[in-house]
Amino acid sequence: MVMKHIKKLYAFLIFFFLYAPIMVLIIFSFNESKSRGSWDGLTLKWYIELFKDRQIMSAMYYTLSVAILSSLIATAIGTAAAIGIDNMKRFKKSMIMNLTYLPVLNPDIVTGIALMLLFIFMRIRLGFLTLLLAHITFNIPYVIISVLPKLKQLNKHIYEAALDLGASPSYALRKVIIPEIMPGIITGFLLAFTLSLDDFVISFFTTGSGVSNLSITIYSMARRGINPKINALSTIMFITVLLLLIIINNRMSKNNTIKE
Amino acid sequence: MKENRVVAPYLIWMTIFIVLPIILVIFFGVTIRTESGLQLSLDNFKRFFEPIYLMVLWRSIRLALISTVICLILGYPMAMILASNGLKMKNTLVLLFIIPMWMNFLLRTYAWMTLLERGGIINTILNFLKLPSLNILYTEQAVILGMVYNFLPFMVLPIYSVLIKIDKSLLEAAEDLGADSITVFRKVTFPLSISGVISGITMVFMPAVTTFVISRLLGGGQFTLIGNLIEQQFLFVGDWSFGSAISIVMMILILVSMGFMSKYEKENEGAGLW
Amino acid sequence: MTKVFKTTLALLLVASIILAMTGCSEGKPTLKVYNWGDYIDESVLVEFEEEYGIRVIYDTYATNEDMYIKIKAGGSDYDVAFPSDYMIERMIKEDLLHEIDFNNIPNFKYISEEFKNLDYDSSNNYSVPYMWGTVGIIYNTTMVDDTVDSWDILWNEKYANQILMLDSQRDSIGITLKKLGYSLNTRDVNELEAVKDELIKQKPLVLAYVGDDVKDKMISEEAAMAVVWSGDAVYMKWQNPNLEYAIPKEGSNLWFDAMVIPKTSKNKENAELFINFMTSTDIAFKNTDYIGYSTPHVEARKLLDDELINDKTAYPSSEDLANCEVFKDLSDFLTEYDRVWTEVKAR
């Protein structure tokens, strides 16, 4: 019983740690002053200005589409790769894994500039496509690293059992392996999506004119100070995600009660 | 399983977008620009071994290591709580764990500054409670805090995803055999989750070594890390050769040192890293 | 989890398809503008589009060097950019800029004569000044009781842990050179050694090396003094009346951001049209009013509030500027500056 309360308290403290800065940035989206240094009263003007800002709106669109597409593609390629890598012989496996770590280990600026030069060399016009390719590239390792532990945990015999029972390899993969490693795939997807939303350096160097994401827009304000419009946008994003989560959650619990 | 077919798309991808750029970086690293054009040289590598740069490297590794350990200590219990059986809304809670990271990194870091500064929110609360002020902004602790904050989900999620599928009957069996909960954890739960832990450590430690914005903002620019050094070379000095050399040396050092860690993995087939 | 995941996935896919279909329509001629973030009154862009029927594609960058790499590497096709002085000099040297046909920029006549033909573009063939300013010390009059007229105050132990320096090697080394009476474009290794010793001596007194967050810090009185750009100083003074700005008597850095046409441009005439438009009186006024930096535009300046026109922070007298210098491109010698800066900061 005591343990339960300690657990609750611990979870609460960790969540508090995670959300404290979020609360701060939400509060400052209502600050009349442009500076975080002073509080000049409540206002909604940043929200109004936000919707007039073409640049932020277009950045929002590119951020979301690149994050969604790149994390989905990276999850697909990465999961398949993890399954393959898990079955490899030790030496080959080590080689490939070490290469996989490189984008994680390489500072963003090195990856960004190297990819930019590569795209220019390959004569791919810098823009949405190159941005997407770059994001998939730095996302894949995270998916692989997330999925591999699940594959190790997997009981190798169930796959063989499925084959013995007459399942085709692809059917066994779909119906036996994938469901078992699903938590790892979801973790990989979530981490990839998060990284993609937040990336600045690599995006900056691999995108072309007319295509920029929110991070680029925000970082480029660094000399002049970040406009509170961005806080307003973050607040809206945050509330939207939260609402979606509540709706889905309610739906799910309803479905479950009907089934029972 | 037909490993080749499933892994093929990744191998192609890797060759084009990981191997080719790395070759490019190595090329920059071993050449210097002279008046007669590019010339092969190892000067860049030699320069890196000057004491000042080694000090920066050591500091980066030390801070990343500390942050990784803190993430593990804070994150493992959290992952256990999230994975525990009776928990309602498990999925929602997991998502709630990562959503803060969907807000822009720079905004979150600035928010931390508002919380931590001398007249900041935390100190206002402390003073109100008649407690002494806390001055950690622009110290090493602030840099570590920033790293832990930003990388914690990368530790918790992989551990969580392994923990939820641990066979509960194993735990029950251990308990039936008279093991107390600490022993169960030490002998059963933790060993079974070690692959998740390794993934978590990898995803926290590696990016933490090369981060540079956190140290610049929360450390007040006083704790130059290897990431700052490399950024400086590429952007402000325009010395891509030295910048590339630094990152090559760093990558080799870290891959080798992490290779030792993988020795602790009990399984006979490691997750790479030599 | 799987179900949540599938539902979210479905939602996301639908969303991304919808997003992808609402892509922008082509057809109209376009102009690609590359500027610092938050460095224009964006309504001006709409006005330009309406007046000339040219669609503006507007992107932003954070530093001169970021912009330089993108244009130098050749993967971009920007028509107009806004680099600073030393960067313009470097881009001219490396043949990255088009010469501007000033017959197409009749509004150039409004630019104050003192800002034409400056060293970075000595016969003024490549650039039209956009904003300018100085570097100086902002200080809180309730916390500092000495007179602030020299860089020496940044080395005064009385203010230990109350001093904010700029986290920028060129600026911080530059003001230290000035403090010691040298040129801030020095290429003398001995002078740089002296600077290094000075900065190392100063380091224990410095609270932090900061970027744009200096504004919030000074406004909320987290520090007593800081090195800042004049344009930001105007804003800070306005937010907190206890703040005052001074250009030290040893001299300082005088800087310019100017409009240029990179060689990547495919429609130079439209770029010139845009530059001329930006230099018209009402547009220059709008931008100055929004940004709050100092304008080189004679007529636009007259439209500003009297208070601002007479503010020495934004528009210092020529005596104040007597010892000021504009940054020059140091090219390979930057390595030496970087060494000094790393030695100071990495310690």
Structural domain boundaries enclosing B109: 54-226
By CB neighbour count within 10 A (0-12 exposed, 13-18 middle, 19+ buried), where does A163 fall? middle
What are phi and psi for residue C306, nearest 5 degrees?
Answer: -55, -40
Question: Does the beta carbon of A99 lie under 8 angstroms from any beta carbon of chain B?
Answer: yes
Q: In this structure, are residues C279 and C110 in contact, taking their beta carbons and an 8 Å threshold?
A: yes
DSSP state of C100: P
> Of B154, B158, B144, which Cα lies nearest the Cα of B219?
B144
What pLDDT shows up at residue C188? 94
Chains that touch C (3 or more CB pairs under 8 A): A, B
What pLDDT shows up at residue C14? 64
- Number of structural domains (chain C) is 2
Choose the closest CB to A35 out of C34, C58, C216.
C216
Decide if pLDDT at B273 tops 50: no
Confidence of residue B118 (pLDDT cuts 50, 70, 90): confident
SS3 for B34? strand
Instruction: Report the half-sphere exposure of C173 (CA within 13 A, side-chain side).
Output: 29
* Chain B residues with beta carbon closer than 8 angstroms to that of A224: none
Confidence of residue B179 (pLDDT cuts 50, 70, 90): confident
Same domain, C336 and C217: yes
Which tokens in the block code for residue A173?
A: 């993969």
* Chain A residues with beta carbon closer than 8 angstroms to that of B192: 153
Which residues does residue B34 pair with via DSSP β-bridges, in sequence order? Answer: B37
Binding site, annotated residues of C for spermidine? 86
SS3 for C151? helix
- Number of structural domains (chain B) is 1
CA distance B137 to chain C (A): 9
CA distance A51 to B53: 47
What are phi and psi for residue C296, nearest 5 degrees?
Answer: -85, 5
What pLDDT shows up at residue B181? 81
Decide if pLDDT at B267 tops 50: no
What pLDDT shows up at residue B266? 45
Q: Compare all CA atoms of chain A with the CA of C45 and give the residue at the minimum distance.
A: A54
- The ipTM is 0.89
Same domain, C127 and C144: no
Choose the closest CB to A119 out of C75, C217, C220.
C75
Question: Does the beta carbon of A37 lie under 8 angstroms from any beta carbon of chain C?
Answer: yes
Q: Compare all CA atoms of chain C with the CA of A123 and give the residue at the minimum distance.
A: C75
CA distance A181 to A179: 6
Query: Is B81 a member of any domain?
Result: yes
Choose the closest CB to C76 out of A208, A219, A244.
A208
Q: Give the position of tokens 């959290």.
A: B78
> Of C78, C70, C72, which Cα lies nearest the Cα of C31?
C78
What pLDDT shows up at residue B269? 43
Same domain, C113 and C195: no
SS3 for C254? strand
Give the helix ranges, DSSP H, for B177-273.
181-184, 190-210, 213-217, 226-232, 240-262
CA distance A111 to B251: 13
Q: Give the position of tokens 């060293």.
A: C119
What pLDDT shows up at residue B189? 86
Mean pLDDT of chain B: 86
Question: Does the beta carbon of C34 lie under 8 angstroms from any beta carbon of chain A?
Answer: yes
Domain of B199: which CATH number? Answer: 1.10.3720.10
Give the helix ranges, DSSP H, for A122-166.
128-153, 156-164
Q: Which domains does chain A have, with CATH numbers?
A: 58-213 (1.10.3720.10)
Task: Report strand pairing: C206-210 vs C163-166.
Answer: parallel
Domain of C150: which CATH number? Answer: 3.40.190.10
What pLDDT shows up at residue A54? 82
pLDDT along chain A (260 residues), means of 10: 86 94 93 84 91 87 94 95 88 87 89 93 91 96 94 84 85 86 93 93 92 90 84 92 85 61
CA distance C269 to chain B (A): 31
Sheet holding C55-61, edge to edge: C55-61, C30-36, C80-81
Q: Is the dihedral of CA C194, C197, C203, C209 positive or negative?
A: positive
Question: Does the beta carbon of B237 lie under 8 angstroms from any beta carbon of chain C?
Answer: yes
What pLDDT shows up at residue C300? 94
Q: Residues of chain B with pLDDT > 90: what percent? A: 46
Q: What is the pLDDT along chain C (347 residues), one digit of tens a residue?
A: 555 556 666 666 666 555 555 444 456 889 999 999 889 998 999 999 999 999 999 999 989 999 999 999 887 889 999 999 999 999 999 999 999 999 999 999 999 999 999 989 999 999 999 999 999 999 999 999 999 999 999 999 999 999 999 998 999 999 999 999 999 999 999 999 999 999 999 999 999 999 888 998 999 999 999 999 999 999 999 889 999 999 999 999 999 999 999 999 988 999 999 999 999 999 999 999 999 899 999 999 999 988 888 888 999 988 889 899 999 999 889 999 999 999 998 87
Same domain, C227 and C79: no
Query: Is B12 a member of any domain?
Result: no
What pLDDT shows up at residue C310? 87
A 201-220: CB under 8 A from C: 204-205, 208-210, 212, 216-220
> Of A190, A73, A139, which Cα lies nearest the Cα of C13?
A73
CA distance B194 to B271: 12
Question: Do residue B221 and residue C65 have CB atoms under 8 angstroms apart?
Answer: no
Same domain, C199 and C212: yes
Structural domain boundaries enclosing C199: 133-254+317-346
> Of B136, B117, A197, which Cα lies nearest the Cα of C213?
B117
CA distance C25 to A149: 46
> Of C116, C133, C107, C94, which Cα lies nearest the Cα of C327?
C133
Mean per-residue pLDDT, B38-62: 89
SS3 for C139? strand
Q: In this structure, are residues B148 and B67 in contact, taking their beta carbons and an 8 Å threshold?
A: yes
Choose the closest CB to B244 out of A88, A105, A110.
A110
Size of interface A-B (CB pairs under 8 A): 276
The per-residue pLDDT for range B238-250, each reduced to its tens digit, is 888 999 999 999 8
CB atoms within 10 A of CB C93: 11
Rg (CA), chain B: 23
Question: Does the beta carbon of B103 lie under 8 angstroms from any beta carbon of chain A?
Answer: yes
Question: Which region among B122-136, B250-264, C117-131 has the lowest average model confidence (pLDDT)?
Answer: B250-264
What pLDDT shows up at residue A1? 67
Same domain, C110 and C209: no
* Chain C residues with beta carbon closer than 8 angstroms to that of B216: 167, 211
CA distance A171 to chain B (A): 12
Decide if pLDDT at B207 tops 50: yes
Q: In this structure, are residues C295 and C303 in contact, taking their beta carbons and an 8 Å threshold?
A: no
Same domain, C121 and C265: yes
* Chain A residues with beta carbon closer than 8 angstroms to that of C38: 220-221, 224-225, 227
Q: At what angle do helices C268-278 and C43-52 cross, to 10 degrees?
A: 130
Which tokens in the block code for residue A54?
A: 């073409």
Q: Compare all CA atoms of chain B with the CA of A179 and give the residue at the minimum distance.
A: B165
DSSP state of A107: -
Same domain, C212 and C341: yes
Choose the closest CB to C57 out of A186, A210, A255.
A210
- Angle (CA) A213-A216-A218 rounded to 5° is 105
Same domain, C152 and C41: no
